[in-house]
Amino acid sequence: MTKEEFENLWQSIIKKYEKQWKKVKKRYPIGTIVRGINSYIYPQGTIITGEDFLAVYTGDDPFYLHKEVCYKVISYDEINMWLVVV
């Protein structure tokens, strides 16, 4: 699969989640403190699973699987539809 084919496929898949993503961004504006669970480690950072969102943490705090954490929303990852937190 070429990069272009992948991007086209990815866009078609996430298109159906646009309304939900807009609601998440409205509910969690930049500066909001969110609570979630350390769920996964990806190359992009630690994935935090919240009640109705996913977030990526790229800071230096140690990662403890399944630990409840609170972080501040600093931006949005539009491509992956994640909150970016520190």
54: CATH: 2.40.50.140
pLDDT in tens, 9-64: 988 988 899 999 999 999 999 999 999 999 999 888 899 999 999 999 988 888 88
Residue closest to 26 by CA, chosen among 80, 76, 70: 76
Number of folded domains that form the chain: 1
pTM of the model: 0.86
Residue 24 lies in domain: 3-85
How far is the C-alpha of 32 from the C-alpha of 37, rounded, in Å? Answer: 16
Q: What angle do CA 39, 75, 5 make, to 5 degrees?
A: 75
At residue 51, the pLDDT reads: 95
At residue 79, the pLDDT reads: 86
- pLDDT greater than 90 at residue 5: yes
At residue 59, the pLDDT reads: 85
Name, in order, each residue with C-beta under 8 angstroms of 19's C-beta and a sequence gap of 6 or more: none
